[in-house]
Every structure is written in C-alpha cells, then in structure tokens.
Amino acid sequence: MTYTSFRRSNDTPHGGITSIYYNDKRGVEEMTKRAYYTSTGRKRAANGLVEWGMRSGFGVMRNYHADEKRYVVGRKNARYSISVKNNSRSRLEVVLSVDGLDVVDGKPASLRKRGYIVWPEQTIEIRGWRSSEKEVASFVFSPVAGSYSNLRHGETRNVGVVGLAVFTEKGIDPWSGRAEDGHNRFAASPFAEAPMSRAR
C-alpha cells in the first residue's frame, strides 16, 4: 500500500453517507417486512461519482431495496469484499466502514480518518481490515457474537452495516478533472463595467 497527499474539498462527504445492510435471508425478510424489490450489480452513490457493491463468490451480490435502504443476503462464514468504481474524472477519497469499524485500521470508524484514493475510472476491491501493511483480516459474514467487531473490540452496536463516504479533491471539479477556477469564466461578462472612458 502506498501513500499520497489529498486535500478534501469539504469536511462533509459528497452526497452524504451511503449504507448497505447485510443479514441472512430470514433476517433481510424480517427487516424489509418482505416488501422489497431486487436489483443486480453495483449501484451509484455520491451523486453518481461512484458505483459500489458487495461481492461474494463470483460476482456482485444481489441487492434488496426497501424503504430507501439497501440490503444484501450473506451466507454464514462466507467471505466477501467491497467493490468501488470511480465514475469521475478526478481522484476521490473513499472512506469505508464495516460493522462500525474503519476498513483501513480495523478500529472504530470516523469521517476524520483517511481512506483509499481511487483514480478516475479505477475500480478497487477491499477484502478486509488491514492489520498491518501486508496482512488483511478478511471480511466474513458471521453472527453478531462471532463478528470481528465483537471479538476485537467487544462492540456489537453496528454489526450488519457497511458504510461509504466519498470526498472530492480541493480545487478540482470531479466531472471535468480540471481546476474549479476555470468555471468562473461562465460568470464572465462581455460588457463588464470598467472605469469611465470614451471611445475615440
């Protein structure tokens, strides 16, 4: 893993925080009261800047939608990963949490912590919490008592939710990849007022 400098344009995530809830089949049916519709593939977040989803087995897991929330059905002890694609033309900082823990250090999550830098059109796949520069503790679907969050920190309050926050780079328009001051030209006036003078 390498490091690079990145200045956030704002302390608030672009488009807010997005979540995916996971449970077993029965749990998802209870949480949605069986009033859900399904979809496949990664879904857009951060006002379309990224697409993201959870992968297990051979592809992106099926999504269950209900009451503006998104769910996936996990199989006990199965490994999974988080896939994020940058749709923009600029670098983005992606901060992810699983069960209330930051995926970079495996400690309680916070928006103040730094995340992964995703380059334009790049797709990253996060397979677990980093326990060191080279070691990763795999994401595994498990009951609350056996969750990484409980075993490592004795914390179960946020088990079952994956969070995503996306930050844009200061001074850069994410859709053009250019410096934002270029957009000031749209406000330029062809007959701007100037000190009084007359044409000869």
Q: Is the pLDDT of residue 137 over 60?
A: yes
Question: Which residue is it, tokens 């007022």?
Answer: 193
- One DSSP character per residue, 105-149 reads TSSB--TTS--EEE-TT-EEEE-EEESSSS-EEEEE---GGGSHH
Is residue 183 very low, low, confident or very high in pLDDT (cuts 50, 70, 90)? very low
Mean pLDDT of 54-68: 95
Euclidean distance between CA atoms 61 and 198, whole angstroms: 70
- Looking at the chain, the number of H-run helices and the number of E-run strands are 2, 15
What mean pLDDT do residues 71-86 have? 96
Burial classification of residue 98, based on how many CB atoms lie within 10 Å of its CB (0-12 exposed, 13-18 middle, 19 or more buried): buried
Q: How far apart are CA 146 and CA 137, in angstroms?
A: 14
Structure tokens at 64: 């269950």
What percent of the chain has pLDDT above 90? 70
Statement: residue 87 has pLDDT above 80: yes
* Bridge partners, residue 50, by sequence: 45, 86
Give rounded-to-5 percent helix, strand, coil for the chain.
Answer: 15, 40, 50
In terms of C-beta density within 10 A (0-12 exposed, 13-18 middle, 19 or more buried), how is residue 68 classed? exposed
pTM equals 0.84
pLDDT value at residue 194: 43
With cut-offs at 50, 70 and 90, classify the pLDDT of residue 135. Answer: confident
Please report, for the chain, the start and end positions of each structural domain, with discontinuous segments joined by +: 18-187
Residue 48: its pLDDT value, please?
A: 98
Residue 44 reports pLDDT greater than 80: yes
Please determine, for residue 148, whether its predicted confidence score (pLDDT) is greater than 70: no
pLDDT beyond 60 at 56: yes
Give me the residue label for tokens 């992968």. 55
Q: Is the pLDDT of residue 186 over 80?
A: no
Classify 38 as helix, strand or coil: strand
pLDDT band at 199 (very low <50, low <70, confident <90, very high): very low
- Would the pLDDT of 151 be above 60? no
pLDDT-derived band at 159, boundaries 50, 70, 90: confident
Q: Which of 104, 107, 127 is nearest to 115 (CA)?
A: 104
Contact 86, 50 (CB under 8 A): yes
Q: Given this model, what pLDDT does residue 142 score?
A: 83
Q: Work out the average pLDDT over 38-52.
A: 98
